[in-house]
Structure 1
Amino acid sequence: MRVAVPILETEVNGRRLVNAHFGKSNLFAVVDTETGKVEVKENPGLHVERGRGIYIAEMFRENGVEAVLVKEMGPGAFDKIRNQLGITVYLIPQNVKFLDEAIEMFKKGELVELLEPNEEEH
């Protein structure tokens, strides 16, 4: 399964950090949970002030993403990704800092599905 996670450019001891801000994330990791292969994709919606979720959703569709792991997601992105594309969104606990931790929790079935947006639009 291909899973996307917003990440920071910063690494700590070679480990990628999860970005808590979905739409404003510069980068997304697209992880193949079978092989462990990680592709880093730039956020195609950074150039727009509003409606970034449309661009991100399209990039996910093009890359075969089936699930997204986030700390928070606003209503616009949530609607495009979950409701229109049918990609399942899972909640990363606030205390989880690293991409590899989030992926491991996902693979073990420890993440809760996000059923509604949990970030206000700014």
Structure 2
Amino acid sequence: MKIAVPVLETEVKGRRLINAHFGKSNFFAIVDTETGEVEFVKNPANNVQRGRGMQIAQMLKEKGVKAVLVKEIGAGAFDKLKNVAGIEVYLVPTVVKFLDEAVNLFKEGKLTELSEPNEG
């Protein structure tokens, strides 16, 4: 299964940090949970003020992503992912800082699926 996680360009000791802001993330890590292969893709909506969620959802769907792991997500992006692209959205706890940690928690079934956006 392919999952996507918004990430920062920053690494700490070779580990990629998660970006807490889904729509404003510069990059997404697309991880194949079966092979462990990771692809880093630029946010196609980086320079867009409105409608980021639709562009991101389309790109992720084209890449075969079935779920995204987020710390925060707004209503627009949540709606486009869930209802337009059919991509599940899972909550990464705030204490989790790194991509590999979030992926492992997802694979272990320890992340909660969001039923609504959580950005304040």
Normalised by the shorter chain, which TM-score bucket?
over 0.9
| Consecutive aligned runs of 4 or more in structure 1 exceeding 4 Å deviation | none
Q: 1:43-84 CA deviation, whole Å, 9 max, x = no partner?
A: 000111111101100110110000000001000000000111
User: What's 2:82 paired with?
Assistant: 82
User: What's 2:12 paired with?
Assistant: 12
Amino acid at match of 1:40: F
Instruction: Give the root-mean-square deviation of aligned CA atoms.
Output: 0.6
Query: Secondary structure in 2 aligned to 1:35?
Result: coil
Distance in 1 separating the partners of 2:118 and 2:41: 24
After TM superposition, the score normalised by the length of structure 1 is 0.97
After TM superposition, the score normalised by the length of structure 2 is 0.98
**What is the percentage of aligned positions where both structures have the same residue?**
67
User: What's 2:96 paired with?
Assistant: 96
User: What's 1:68 paired with?
Assistant: 68
Deviation of 1:108 (Å): 0.1
User: What's 1:27 paired with?
Assistant: 27
Query: Secondary structure in 2 aligned to 1:66?
Result: strand
Deviation of 1:26 (Å): 0.0
Distance in 2 separating the partners of 1:41 and 1:119: 23
Distance in 2 separating the partners of 1:84 and 1:49: 20
Gaps of 5+ in 2: none
Question: How many residues are treated as equivalent by the alignment?
Answer: 120
Distance in 2 separating the partners of 1:31 and 1:114: 20
Q: 1:10-52 CA deviation, whole Å, 9 max, x = no partner?
A: 0000000000000000000000000000000000001111111
Distance in 2 separating the partners of 1:37 and 1:95: 24
